[in-house]
Structure 1
Amino acid sequence: MIKDWKILSSQKTNSLDDIIKIILKNRGLSSSKEISQFINPPHPKDLTLSDFQIDKQEVQKAITRIKEAKSKKESVVVYTDYDADGVCGGTIIWEILHKMGLQVMPYIPDRVEEGYGLSIKGIDKIIKEFDPGLIITVDHGITGSEKIDYAKKKGIDTIVIDHHVLSKSPPLKHKAHSIIHTTKLAATGVAWVFARQLHPQGIESYLDLVALATVADLVPLIGPNRSLVKFGLEKIRNTKRIGLKALIETAGIDQSRIGVHEIGHILAPRLNAMGRLFHALDSMRLLCTPDEDRAVELAQKLNRTNKERQVLTQDTVSHAHNLYLSSQNNKKLIFIAHETYNQGIIGLVAGKLVESYYRPAIVISKGEIYSKASARSINGFNIIETIRTASEFLVDSGGHPMAAGFTVKTEFIEIIQKKLEDIVEEKLTPDLLTNTLKADCILDNNFLKTEIYRGLQILEPFGMGNPPPLFITRSLKINDIRLIGRDNKHLKLFLDIDGKNIEAVGWNFGRFYPDLLKNKFVDIAFTLKENHWNGQTNLQLNIEDVKIPERQQRQ
């Protein structure tokens, strides 16, 4: 996919301070107060409910109901989602209630048998097994009014802890006992804030799970999330949680250096793998276990399952690519359905299609009667809003502007496809379909050094909403070039920078190899990184895009 390059600032950089000021301005920060809060975010314990945009009255209602459940010795079920956010949030609520002395059990639905969120089947199952008087949902429930009503008729109250986008109808407030909700945080963040109000003792120790889930769920690292992740990363690097330590060790990560990248690309996929292919309860067991041997056993199981998930994803992505290309469909929406696709990975497949073709993608796992769909979008196009325009044909739907899912009767797939394609054709403008790489500024060769990288760490944590600073440097001489990795998919350049050999690595950039020549020049868009290997620390450029300089093209 050819990208347009847009340089956000043309200001000349003469120092590290200049670079930092440019980046802050590009992030929309100008006043000294905004900059101070960004660089030195307050500790989460010092933030108020209004800072998190959580309703104080709803929190108090939920606390009162939980205390009532304790006094009446009611059984309570924490009914959580099967992804990393749901598992981490469910762990916090279950452990806190357990510490408070409630009769509480966790429940995670089976992805295939019960599907996402509350279900009649799931409610009937927990009634039979636990006979609860109270259900607490985590990472779902905000669109589950019919299921909450069903539970209410069975004599069960429901407290909803969620962060998904509210559905417009039917109204939920009159059915749920209380709703702890904000779209600003991950569900685990919402769970932590509620737990802080419910039982503040030792609550800071749970920030490791909050950081893990916030990064895993791709929540923007701005506002309160900066506080949660910044202080949560400190907790992860020093975590006492036996299962999390086992997972870190099994994954081969240096615990003292864990950052957003290690969470998003190494730890979270392992936690998610169980819920994608089997059952997520083992992920929750890992986070909760006090037994070191059991923790190692579970961490190794998650590791093996993630490898299976990787192979299955690669095969399915390849199949989906071929299906899309053979369809010769030039619609703005990619819409693919197949009966062999595993429900647990269709979201990953949709994401890969968006990366390749830069347009919204919906991938469906077809069933005999019902089919499950997962959608991913591009910047500026609200996919859940689009999906809900076809709500009359859907069994259910939920999600966020950039990622969503729905269930549909298989007989309605073609109708849904036509309706959604028409809406996307109308609403998705050509400018949104332009894949634009936005660089903070041009960086001269003399700034490509370790001191600059380390100075920029003041702006961490980087992630969604606060991406790593992206720079462009032009006309860098290539000293050497190699293909690396399995199937030679990746690219490594050795660049001449002030007489030094600096490595630049482009993941999945092997396709550029024929166009780049030794002793020739290249323009590079990149982020900076420190590479720690064999006891040595070196600066590395992580390639985001490359172009042949115009003067070289004309030769």
Structure 2
Amino acid sequence: MKNWKILGKSTNSIDNIIEVLLSNREINDKESFFHPKDPTLLTPKDVGIHAIELKQAFQRIQKAIEKKESIVVYTDYDADGITAGAVLWEALFELGARVMPYVPHRVDEGYGLSEKGIDRVQKEFDPTLIITVDHGITAVSQVAYAKKHGIDVVVTDHHVKQQRDPNCPLIHTTDLAGVGISWFLANMLIVKNKEKARDLLALVAIGTIADMVPLVGANRSLVVYGMKELKATKRLGIVALLKDAGVIQDALTTSDVSHILAPRINAMGRLEHALDALRLLCTKNADRATSLAQVLHITNSERQQLTIDTTLQAVKLYKDSKNIPNILVVSDASYNQGVIGLVAGKLVETYYRPAIVIAVGEIISKASVRSIRGFDVISFLRKHSSLLVDVGGHPMAAGFTIETKNIKKFTKVVEEVAQRDIKESLLIRSIAIDLEIPLTAIRSSLYERMTDFAPFGLGNPEPVFATKKVTVESIRLIGAKQNHLKLKLSSFDAVGFGLGEWYGKIKQGMTVDVAYTIDKNTWNGNTSLQLKLRDIRIP
């Protein structure tokens, strides 16, 4: 049972509905929201970047370009990091810099800047400058190690700072995704080539959506303009990826990016080596693009099956438990590091508890963490950093390294603290509903006004409505596994994906309360509005 939180007062006036939606999202400046600023005009203040630090980083990079120093763009291996790396590498290459990208291997080197990675980079490229993208803000000792070996470092990162920063120029903000920061820097560097800057926005849209940052303010600008570029891009790798996935390019949505494109890019870093994902985004060879798109597709399919298998094993650990702890901690030597984040997400989805999944190694183990609304997991973990090798991330998602010998003690400590500190009210699933409306208020004119709020995401969720005491005219199960629900409610079709459990509880002629979003459905050439159910209640 979900707790319904209805945020606004009931109305059937379209203008009033729109005003409630704006109020719920705390949107005071309608003009800048519905007409976001051109990203090329964004200032450091707009994106939360410290101007003096930005200047220091910019000057060091300019010097490296002018003196033809060897530069390495050191990326992360997820979709945000890969797109960020592609953006900055292409911008520097456009300026004639001696630059190469470097993508660390998840298992061999681990997340972020590492001494092993620095050694490999020095042996292969002998750089005098490393620029990190989507990581580095916690790499105090690693930056010192690089300097000791004659390599300067510029850090660009959006993760939460620790008490101590690396001793190097920083471009940091938590307002953007890693790719957003990378593009902001790139846009400064190639200021005379606006066409290239706009082309790179296609990659920015992918990385920003994939990293699930709030789609408000500067991020909204980047995604609105980036989606326009993405729908029209001639980039061979993206075109091949869309074709392989069966997605129509000019009809591309943010949902397609988050559920189809991003997982394929992420899959390479999870199971293989993310360098092929970077190659796909940057290639200028059509045959190479096609073959790489196929590699990403196959790898993603393998990732999907591995996630299913691991999730089933992890979920079973609590299936028969009468007292599920306030935080879930599971660890096993069979867990693949590449999918533990996804498995943690599935545990949260199943039990609605913060979840920690640890891939156990012989001496060192890696963990991924996902949280629930209202529980800052990175702050929680840093309180127990004495038991960890390192930790980093965001309030809703984090990762850490731990000595295997400390897992048992760590598990005991965090379970005890969570049992004491996490309030029961946080562990009740809730659904935020914008307002209650009658079904008669649902018209094409309302739907068209709602589309102005897109793109949807964190900070700007898709509008959710509630209607009470609606009569069920028909009900049936749909889908290959018969786990989805199809209802007829008055003159509207309603689809409840994953709500098949309600079949048998609801009968024709009953009245129900429904929470839903409004969608446009086209079938056999006919287009109509339908309800996509989020939840059902029997009054």
Which structure 2 residues correspond to residues 76-87 of structure 1 after superposition, within 5 A?
76-87=71-82
Which SS does the other structure have where 1:464 is aligned?
A: coil
Where does residue 150 of structure 1 map in the other structure? Answer: 145
My pick for the range that moved more, 482-491 or 138-147, is 482-491
* Counterpart selection for 1:514 from 500, 504, 522: 504
- The yes-or-no answer on 1:459 pairing with 2:459 is no
Which SS does the other structure have where 1:514 is aligned?
A: coil
Which residue identity lines up with residue 342 of structure 1 in the other structure? N
Deviations along 1:120-177, one digit per CA (max 9) or x if unpaired, are 11111111111111111111100111111101100000111100000113x42xx22x
Where does residue 244 of structure 1 map in the other structure? Answer: 238
Which SS does the other structure have where 1:487 is aligned?
A: coil
Where does residue 353 of structure 1 map in the other structure? Answer: 347
- Provide the rounded CA distance (Å) in 1 between the counterparts of 2:247 and 2:366: 35
My pick for the range that moved more, 264-273 or 528-537, is 528-537
Which SS does the other structure have where 1:343 is aligned?
A: coil
Offset at residue 328 of structure 1 (A): 4.8
- The percentage of aligned residue pairs carrying the same residue is 49
Which SS does the other structure have where 1:542 is aligned?
A: strand
Offset at residue 329 of structure 1 (A): 4.7
Which SS does the other structure have where 2:411 is aligned?
A: helix
Offset at residue 216 of structure 1 (A): 0.4
Offset at residue 534 of structure 1 (A): 4.3
Which residue identity lines up with residue 149 of structure 1 in the other structure? A
- Provide the rounded CA distance (Å) in 1 between the counterparts of 2:488 and 2:70: 62
Where does residue 18 of structure 2 map in the other structure? Answer: 20
Which structure 2 residues correspond to residues 20-39 of structure 1 after superposition, within 5 A?
20-29=18-27, 31=28, 34-39=29-34
| 8 Å contact kept, 2:318–2:324 | no
- Provide the rounded CA distance (Å) in 2 between the counterparts of 1:503 and 1:213: 34
Offset at residue 295 of structure 1 (A): 0.9
Seen in structure 2, the aligned counterparts of structure 1 residues 399 and 354 have a Cα distance that, compared at 3 Å, is same
Which SS does the other structure have where 2:467 is aligned?
A: strand
My pick for the range that moved more, 484-493 or 334-343, is 484-493
* Counterpart selection for 2:111 from 116, 123, 132: 116
Where does residue 553 of structure 1 map in the other structure? Answer: none
Which residue identity lines up with residue 81 of structure 2 in the other structure? G
- The yes-or-no answer on 1:373 pairing with 2:364 is no
Which SS does the other structure have where 2:384 is aligned?
A: helix
- Provide the rounded CA distance (Å) in 2 between the counterparts of 1:283 and 1:164: 22
| 8 Å contact kept, 1:75–1:133 | yes
| 8 Å contact kept, 1:450–1:530 | no
- Provide the rounded CA distance (Å) in 2 between the counterparts of 1:494 and 1:271: 38
Which structure 2 residues correspond to residues 375-524 of structure 1 after superposition, within 5 A?
375-497=369-491, 502-524=492-514
- Provide the rounded CA distance (Å) in 2 between the counterparts of 1:301 and 1:484: 32
Deviations along 1:434-483, one digit per CA (max 9) or x if unpaired, are 22211111121112333322221111111111000000112333333222
| 8 Å contact kept, 2:519–2:529 | yes
Deviations along 1:494-531, one digit per CA (max 9) or x if unpaired, are 3322xxxx322222111111212233332211111112
Which residue identity lines up with residue 108 of structure 1 in the other structure? V
- The yes-or-no answer on 1:134 pairing with 2:132 is no
* Counterpart selection for 2:358 from 359, 364, 388: 364
My pick for the range that moved more, 475-484 or 37-46, is 475-484
Seen in structure 2, the aligned counterparts of structure 1 residues 140 and 27 have a Cα distance that, compared at 3 Å, is same
Deviations along 1:402-434, one digit per CA (max 9) or x if unpaired, are 000001011100111122223322322222222
My pick for the range that moved more, 368-377 or 422-431, is 422-431
Which SS does the other structure have where 2:338 is aligned?
A: helix
- Provide the rounded CA distance (Å) in 2 between the counterparts of 1:20 and 1:219: 24
Which SS does the other structure have where 1:459 is aligned?
A: coil
Deviations along 1:76-134, one digit per CA (max 9) or x if unpaired, are 11110000000000001111111111111111111111110011111111111111111
Deviations along 1:202-221, one digit per CA (max 9) or x if unpaired, are 21211111111111000001
Where does residue 63 of structure 1 map in the other structure? Answer: 58
- Provide the rounded CA distance (Å) in 2 between the counterparts of 1:510 and 1:280: 37
| 8 Å contact kept, 1:324–1:336 | no
Which residue identity lines up with residue 508 of structure 2 in the other structure? K
- Provide the rounded CA distance (Å) in 1 between the counterparts of 2:456 and 2:132: 30
Alignment gaps of 5+ in structure 2: none
- The yes-or-no answer on 1:7 pairing with 2:2 is no
| 8 Å contact kept, 2:371–2:395 | yes
Q: Which runs of 4+ in 1 moved over 6 A?
A: none
- The alignment of Structure 1 onto Structure 2 pairs a total of residues equal to 536
Where does residue 90 of structure 1 map in the other structure? Answer: 85
Offset at residue 487 of structure 1 (A): 2.3
* Counterpart selection for 1:167 from 145, 158, 162: 162
Deviations along 1:309-331, one digit per CA (max 9) or x if unpaired, are 11111111111110122455532
Where does residue 102 of structure 2 map in the other structure? Answer: 107
| 8 Å contact kept, 2:477–2:503 | yes
Which residue identity lines up with residue 229 of structure 1 in the other structure? V
Seen in structure 2, the aligned counterparts of structure 1 residues 23 and 41 have a Cα distance that, compared at 3 Å, is same
Where does residue 546 of structure 1 map in the other structure? Answer: 536
| 8 Å contact kept, 1:133–1:156 | yes
Which SS does the other structure have where 1:69 is aligned?
A: helix
Which residue identity lines up with residue 479 of structure 2 in the other structure? G
- Provide the rounded CA distance (Å) in 1 between the counterparts of 2:132 and 2:88: 10
My pick for the range that moved more, 296-305 or 90-99, is 296-305
Which residue identity lines up with residue 71 of structure 1 in the other structure? E
Which residue identity lines up with residue 12 of structure 2 in the other structure? T
* Counterpart selection for 2:190 from 183, 188, 199: 199
Which structure 2 residues correspond to residues 261-276 of structure 1 after superposition, within 5 A?
261-276=255-270
Seen in structure 2, the aligned counterparts of structure 1 residues 135 and 533 have a Cα distance that, compared at 3 Å, is farther
Which residue identity lines up with residue 332 of structure 1 in the other structure? N
- Provide the rounded CA distance (Å) in 1 between the counterparts of 2:206 and 2:255: 11
- Provide the rounded CA distance (Å) in 2 between the counterparts of 1:387 and 1:326: 28
* Counterpart selection for 1:294 from 285, 288, 294: 288
| 8 Å contact kept, 2:136–2:155 | yes
Where does residue 536 of structure 1 map in the other structure? Answer: 526
Deviations along 1:361-420, one digit per CA (max 9) or x if unpaired, are 111111111111111111111001111111112111110000000010111001111222
What TM-score, normalized to structure 2? 0.97
Which SS does the other structure have where 1:405 is aligned?
A: strand
Which SS does the other structure have where 1:152 is aligned?
A: helix
- Provide the rounded CA distance (Å) in 2 between the counterparts of 1:48 and 1:221: 18
- Provide the rounded CA distance (Å) in 2 between the counterparts of 1:534 and 1:194: 47
| 8 Å contact kept, 2:10–2:437 | no
Seen in structure 2, the aligned counterparts of structure 1 residues 314 and 534 have a Cα distance that, compared at 3 Å, is farther
